[in-house]
Structure formats: C-alpha cells, structure tokens
Amino acid sequence: MTSGLWELVLQGIWVTVQLLVLSALVATAVSFVVGVARTHRLWIVRFLAGFYTEVFRGTSALIMIFWVFFVLPPAFGWQLVPMWAGTLALGLTYGAYGAEIVRGALGAVDPAQREGGIALSFTPWQRMRLILLPQAVPEMIPPFSNLLVELLKGTALVSVMGMGDLAFSGNLVRLALQESAEIYTYILLIYFVIAFLLTRVMRGLERQLKAGVGKAPRKTGTPPRRAPEGADAVKVGGGA
C-alpha cells in the first residue's frame, strides 16, 4: 500500500472517531432523559418514553440511517450534513438501548435510599440528582461499555451512505488496488484496537466512579450488593 492510500485510511479513522464521539454524546443524553422519564410518576410520560424505546429498539440502525438520509429531507424541506445525519440516526437508536440500561440501574438502587430521600422531604428532582443517580451511574458503566463497542461497530453503517469513514476508506483502497484481503484485515484490526481502547477507558472510569461512592474494590467489610438488573436485562447486540 502506498502512503497516499494510508492517508485515506487515516482520514477514515478520523471520521469514524468524530462520528463515534458525537453519536456517543447524543446517545448518552437520550438514554438519561428517556431512562429517567421511564421512572416518572405521570403515566403519560412513562408511556411516551416506553414507546420511544420500543420503536427505536425495534427498527434496525441501518434503516434509521436510510430514513434520516432519504425521508427526512423531502418531508421537512431541509437536509442535514452527512455527519449530523449519521450522528442523529446512531444517537437516537443506541440511545434507546442506553435508556434501558439507565432504567435498569435506577431500579436496582436499594429502595431504602429512595424512601430515605422522601423522609428527608427531598423533591423528586433532588432525589434523582443527589441520591439515585450517584449510586446508579457506576453500575451503568459495564453495560454502557458494551453498548459503546456496539456503537463503534454501528458507525461502519454510514459507509453505505457514502460517508468517508474507516469502512468506506477500505472500499476505496480495495478499488484502487484490486486486492482486498490485506486492506480489510487492516481495517478490522484498526476497529479492534479502537474497541480495545474504549473498553480500557471505560474500565478505568468505572473504578473511579465506584471509588467516588465508597464502593472501591479494595474496601472490604461492606455487604455484597445485588447485581444491577440492567447488566443482564439489557438486550445489547442489536443494530451493529
């Protein structure tokens, strides 16, 4: 492979990383908003949040991408730049999976904690912000880490729309060289390395967050905690 082709691959990595970071931010925002809304006391809010998760988990990420690229523009008369269209489609889809994680982790917090908040006459919002979320967030990190790898794999889908991400640059190199084994092996390896780095970062984050709420692994003598529901209940694996 010539250096020009490697440059193409580097650009592809850059696009993939950008897309990954942006859609991860959107997905995180969506999952917290929708996940918290599913514990709301008004049934209509719970229903709408549940409807959102069912719809976006029900469709395939690739169909969402097609929809955002082809159906939204004529329907609303405006068109998104490919990067934002991809971010929106991936963020909304994976946000629905993330919402289930958030809901599961919130449900796994000891009920006595919530009752304590009520007894101290905290408002629902204070309870969520000061009591439930700080304890639930560390439990969310392992499933979120899996979801992040799924999201990374999902970013490859935008190459179908002609966005110049890593998978797309692989196709270009294949066309240039008329030879595919080498380049696709490199592309797969690069994805694997990115996924490996992501899981490492998330593991570090988990350790830090757990230490923040006094659940550091070195501390002994604390009673064993229940596993968060979200860890197993979430059906990750879709969409990528």
Partner 1 sequence: MQWDWGAVADFMPHFWDGLLVTLQALALGSVISFVLGLVWALLMRAPSRFVRWPVGAVTEFIRNTPLLVQLFFLFYVLPEWNITFSALTTGVVAIGLHYSTYTMQVYRAGIEAVPVGQWEAATALNLPPRRTWTAVILPQAVRRVVPALGNYVIAMLKDTPMLMAITVLDMLGEARLFAQQNFQFTEPLTVIGVAFILISYLASVLLRALERRLVR
Which residues are near partner 1 by CB under 8 A? 54-55, 57-64, 66-67, 70-71, 74-76, 149, 152-157, 159-160, 167, 170-171, 174, 179-181, 184-185, 187-188, 191-192, 195-196, 235-240
The nearer residue to partner 1, 118 or 177, going by C-beta atoms, is: 177
Of the candidates 168, 144, 174, 171, the residue with the CA atom closest to the CA atom of residue 156: 168
Q: Give whichever of 226 and 235 is closer to partner 1, judged by the CB atom.
A: 235
Residue 46: CB minimum distance to partner 1, A: 18
- 185 vs 205: CA distance, rounded Å: 30
- Contact between residue 146 and residue 236 where contact means Cβ atoms under 8 Å apart: yes
C-beta closer to partner 1: residue 118 or 197:
197
Residue type at 193 in one-letter notation? V
Query: Smallest distance, Å, CB 198 to partner 1?
Result: 9
- Which residue lies nearer to partner 1 by CB, 118 or 201? 201
- By beta-carbon proximity to partner 1, the closer residue of 177 and 216 is 177
Smallest gap from Cβ 138 to partner 1, in A, equals 23
**Residues 120-156, buried b or exposed e (16+ Cβ, 10 A)?**
eebeeeebbeebbbebbbbbbbbbbbbbbbbbbebbb
CB of 6 to partner 1, least distance (A): 17
Question: Minimal CA–CA distance to 85: which of 4, 7, 23?
Answer: 23
C-alpha dihedral (120, 122, 124, 127), degrees to nearest 10? -80
Number of C-beta neighbours around residue 173 at 10 A: 24
Q: Which bin fits 134, alpha (ψ -120 to 50), beta or left (φ > 0)?
A: alpha
DSSP state of 225: P
Residue closer to partner 1 by CB (options 49, 240) is 240
